[in-house]
Amino acid sequence: MRGQAFEKGRGCHVESDPPESYTRREDILSARPGDTAIFEGSITDLQQRLAARGYIADTGLAVSLFLALRLGRPLFLEGQAGVGKTALASAIAEALETDLIRLQCYEGLDITHAAYEWDYARQMLELRILEASGAIDRSAARRELYSEAFLIKRPLLQAIDPARTRPAVLLIDEIDRADEEFEGYLLELLAEFQMTIPELGTVRATEPPLVILTSNRTRDVHDALKRRCLYQWIDYPSFDKELAIVARRAPRASAHLARQITAVVHELRAAELYKAPGVSETLDWVAALTALDRDAPDLESLDATLGVALKASEDIEAVRGERLAGILARAASR
């Protein structure tokens, strides 16, 4: 019946009358009501599960993640480059033993790459076949051509697909790189875990995903989007936390080298450089010096490998020489 919600409890419905030219289809939309509690443990359990996957989360981050899971709210992570925003999404997906669906944002990202697209080539082919077989029923053909079989599901639709039996982790990475209009498109998805496809109706998740958005703050993300999310700033880690990360991520490195390089990186972060090194640079530096068979950093090897940690020539020039010697001496006394 037109204008009426689909069966209650099927997890989805068409909100309003589709225009005459559209075809409503229940097959893509049909699903069981959700009953999967994806995480029932405590905050400490969550931290331990992440740690078992090599991700060290301090209490503030673990509480935010726990609440995102419990309240079913998206988690918006902001922080400098290389502080573990993207890695958190992978780690939590592994910890929850579920799929990680990743949408990498970029300028010009549009719905056809983010949400869904009709497979026009296959639709045309199918149309030819229908024409060749004669006796085309126009409305049946329309229904057929705009059915799930011809829909290419991109990450956002994959994440709310009612066919999912377990909530996925949806990572919307580097949202600040996408255009502002794209943020507007996300509002319905993040508030209701649903998406309207004009030709099909409204698709609503029965197992809503855990959504993690990240931003490097290259521009401000709109308040309307942030309001729908829990917010967490991820700062550079403390010395002890970073040492724990290095121990987990670079277990083959000598403990002394790990400690010294972590200390050098902390000194560099305090040095007001154009681009401070992130955790990835610490890990890369430890790996580089380990590959050079160093158990402890010396001025010569640090100087030769500065480009592993610093990615701006101004910074390398500013640090090289006496300043680096001073940094190494202070790091050694840690």
Ligand X SMILES: Nc1ncnc2c1ncn2[C@@H]1O[C@H](COP(=O)(O)OP(=O)(O)OP(=O)(O)O)[C@@H](O)[C@H]1O
Q: Which partner from the list Mg ion, ligand X, none does 201 bind, CB cut-off 5 to 8 Å by kind?
A: none
48 versus 86: smaller Cβ distance to ligand X = 86
C-alpha 106 chain-centroid distance: 13
**Is 214 within 8 Å of 59 (Cβ atoms)?**
no
Tell me the residue nearest to ligand X as measured from the CB: 84
Residue 212 CB, shortest distance to Mg ion, in Å, is 11
Measured from the Cβ of residue 21, the count of other Cβ atoms closer than 10 Å reads 10
Mode of pairing for the β-strands spanning 151-153 and 230-234: unpaired
150 versus 233: smaller Cβ distance to ligand X = 233
Among positions 190-219, residues that touch ligand X (CB under 6 A) are 216
Residues that bind Mg ion in the complex, under the rule CB under 5 A = 86
Q: Which partner from the list Mg ion, ligand X, none does 318 bind, CB cut-off 5 to 8 Å by kind?
A: none
SS3 55: coil
Stretch of 29-37, 53-61, 64-72, 130-138 contacting ligand X, by CB under 6 A: 53-61
122 versus 217: smaller Cβ distance to ligand X = 217
Identified binder of ligand X from the candidate list 14, 87, 160, 265, rule CB under 6 A: 87
Residue 81 CB, shortest distance to ligand X, in Å, is 4
SS3 210: strand
Identified binder of ligand X from the candidate list 200, 283, 309, 327, rule CB under 6 A: 283
Reading the block at residue 138, the tokens are: 């126009």
218 versus 333: smaller Cβ distance to Mg ion = 218
Whole-angstrom distance, CA of residue 229 vs CA of residue 77: 10
**Is 143 within 8 Å of 184 (Cβ atoms)?**
no
Contact between 86 and ligand X (CB under 6 A)? yes
Q: CA angle 125-130-131, nearest 5°?
A: 95
Identified binder of ligand X from the candidate list 55, 66, 116, 182, rule CB under 6 A: 55
Residue 84 CB, shortest distance to ligand X, in Å, is 2
Identified binder of ligand X from the candidate list 11, 84, 155, 209, rule CB under 6 A: 84
**Is 109 within 8 Å of 186 (Cβ atoms)?**
no
Q: Which partner from the list ligand X, Mg ion, none does 87 bind, CB cut-off 5 to 8 Å by kind?
A: ligand X
Whole-angstrom distance, CA of residue 305 vs CA of residue 116: 45
Look up residue 150 and give its DSSP letter.
Answer: G
Compute the radius of gyration of the chain from its Cα atoms: 25
Nearest to 60 by CA among 90, 37, 84: 84
Which sign, positive or negative, has the C-alpha torsion 210, 58, 85, 247?
A: negative
Identified binder of ligand X from the candidate list 82, 155, 201, 208, rule CB under 6 A: 82
DSSP string, 87-115: HHHHHHHHHTT--EEEEE--TT--HHHHT
Reading the block at residue 54, the tokens are: 């090599």
Reading the block at residue 127, the tokens are: 């149309």
**Which amino acid, residue 186?**
L
Q: Which partner from the list Mg ion, ligand X, none does 82 bind, CB cut-off 5 to 8 Å by kind?
A: ligand X
151 versus 172: smaller Cβ distance to ligand X = 172
Nearest to 65 by CA among 97, 83, 39: 39
Contact between 147 and ligand X (CB under 6 A)? no
Among positions 246-265, residues that touch ligand X (CB under 6 A) are 249
Among positions 263-282, residues that touch ligand X (CB under 6 A) are 279-280
Q: Which partner from the list ligand X, Mg ion, none does 249 bind, CB cut-off 5 to 8 Å by kind?
A: ligand X
Residue 260 CB, shortest distance to ligand X, in Å, is 18
Contact between 81 and ligand X (CB under 6 A)? yes
31 versus 83: smaller Cβ distance to ligand X = 83
Give me the residues that bind ligand X (CB under 6 A), please. 54-56, 79, 81-87, 216, 245, 249, 279-280, 283
